[in-house]
Chains A and B, each alone.
Chain A
């Protein structure tokens, strides 16, 4: 199975900050990497697909990059509604696996 490791596990940031979350795969997955946002008590929501493509309706302050084994999710200017937990997920091979999550909290 492909292991996905996110860092950090949590971070504190202020509104307006630039935030970067990283995700590393245990083997090469090309760009088969998606990012999801989850708020408490809610289902996850797709933000970025195929490593760098913004899902329709997602604000442009979110961006993704990377290929191979190393990937990044960036929020260019953190907004109050962005405080949530973020997960990366690989769709390169079954079983599809998620990172452990990164919780973005208010500083």
Chain B
């Protein structure tokens, strides 16, 4: 079935790095834009990053720009988020999500992973 499975979360000290992975299955990965969305404990959803279907364009939230890098490996059907210089405020559950054009070019997140928890603490 169509699914996304995140991994790589954990507890990390401030200033350190972590790489999240999102394994896609059940669909043609290389025709979809992919996103990372995070949710801090008890808070709402925050969009983090987007990568186009072919990896040619990447966009970031201001809060992570210059520290996080989104990438994808179509040979492995996997999305990544490299997180450097981590801060306490990066503590959150990180979700990967598939972007789909529902009507014309109006897109939505139709498939989400189960999330992976990242805790930044000394």
Which residue numbers of A lie inside 8 Å of B, CB to CB? Answer: 1, 31-32, 34, 36, 38, 42-46, 49-50, 53, 55, 87, 89, 91, 94-101
Q: Which residue of B lies closest to A34 (CB)?
A: B108
Answer whether residue B113 sits at the interface, using C-beta atoms and an 8 A cutoff. Answer: yes
Name 28 interchain pairs, CB-CB below 8 A, sorted by A. A1-B62, A36-B45, A38-B45, A43-B95, A43-B113, A43-B115, A44-B45, A44-B95, A45-B112, A46-B108, A49-B102, A49-B108, A50-B102, A50-B103, A53-B102, A53-B103, A89-B108, A91-B107, A91-B108, A95-B60, A95-B61, A95-B62, A96-B47, A98-B45, A98-B46, A100-B44, A101-B44, A101-B45
Q: Identify A44's interface contact among B50, B60, B112, CB under 8 A.
A: B112
Asked if B109 contacts A34 (CB within 8 A), the reply is yes
Answer whether residue B106 sits at the interface, using C-beta atoms and an 8 A cutoff. Answer: yes
How many residues of B are in contact with the other chain, CB < 8 A?
A: 22
Main secondary structure of the interface of A (DSSP, over half): loop
Report A49 CB to chain B, min CB distance, Å: 4
Asked if B59 contacts A95 (CB within 8 A), the reply is yes
Contacting residues of chain B (67-115) with chain A, CB-CB under 8 angstroms = 95, 102-103, 106-110, 112-115
Q: Identify B106's interface contact among A45, A91, A94, A100, CB under 8 A.
A: A91
Q: Which of A31, A55, A91, A96 has the most CB of B within 10 A?
A: A96
